[in-house]
Structure formats: C-alpha cells, structure tokens
Amino acid sequence: MSIAVLPVWMLTVALDTVGQVAFKAATSDACAGEGLARWRYMACRPVLWLGIACYVFQLLAWTVFLSLMPLGRGVLLGSINIVAILLAGRVIFRERLTPMRMAGVALICLGVVVVGLSP
C-alpha cells in the first residue's frame, strides 16, 4: 500500500467509527420513549445528524480509497473498521470485551497486516 493511500484509509476508518458511535449514542437515550415518539426524538438529536454526515463523507472517502487500490484488497483492509468500532464501544459505552472478541480482533488485525504488506 502506498503512503498516499494511508491517509484516505485512516479517514474512512475514523468517519465510520464516529458515525457508528453517533448512531449508538442517538439510539441509547433512555428519554427517547417508544414507537414513533422515539423516532421523532432521535430525529431532533444533533448526534444522529452527526452520524448521517459521517456516513455521507465516509462514502466519498471510501470511493476515493477504492479508486486507489484493487477492490478485493480495499475491502479486506476496510475490515479494520470492525476493530476500531469495537474499541470505541469499549471506551465510550463500556461494552464488554470477551476473550472470544479479543481473539477475533487479533485475527482481524493480523489479516489486515498481511493484506497491507502484500505486494
């Protein structure tokens, strides 16, 4: 992977992670109520719109990223998003990291390294 691709890749990871965290924050408010009232409440929350904006920009960044490398390799490198989102969930929402999840994270990281270093 060339050095020019690295910032675009990191941008896609950051935007995807922030978007997922924003969506989780928007949906996990206990004051939201139920049914249609919940959806109305969430639609008024800026954090939901932050998530949507991140996804719009992530789509653009992902398109640029895929234009710079082969699809198969790009999608495999994109799997690091899973790790970033899992770690953000742990830090921000205090979600549990079980030994099986940690093993999965280690395997994903190993796979990304192997794909990233391959010619």
Nearest CA-CA partner of 91 in 31, 34, 32, 21: 21
- Total domains in the chain come to 1
**Confidence (pTM):** 0.87
Q: Give per-residue pLDDT as tens, 43-60.
A: 889 999 999 999 999 999
**Residue 52 belongs to domain spanning:** 5-117
Contact status, residue 78 vs residue 12, Cβ threshold 8 Å: yes
Q: Give per-residue pLDDT as tens, 60-111.
A: 999 999 999 999 889 888 999 999 999 999 999 999 999 999 999 999 999 8
Burial of 17 (0-12, 13-18, 19+ CB in 10 A): buried
From residue 56, how far is each of 43, 80, 81, 90, 95 by CA, in Å? Answer: 17, 19, 16, 25, 26
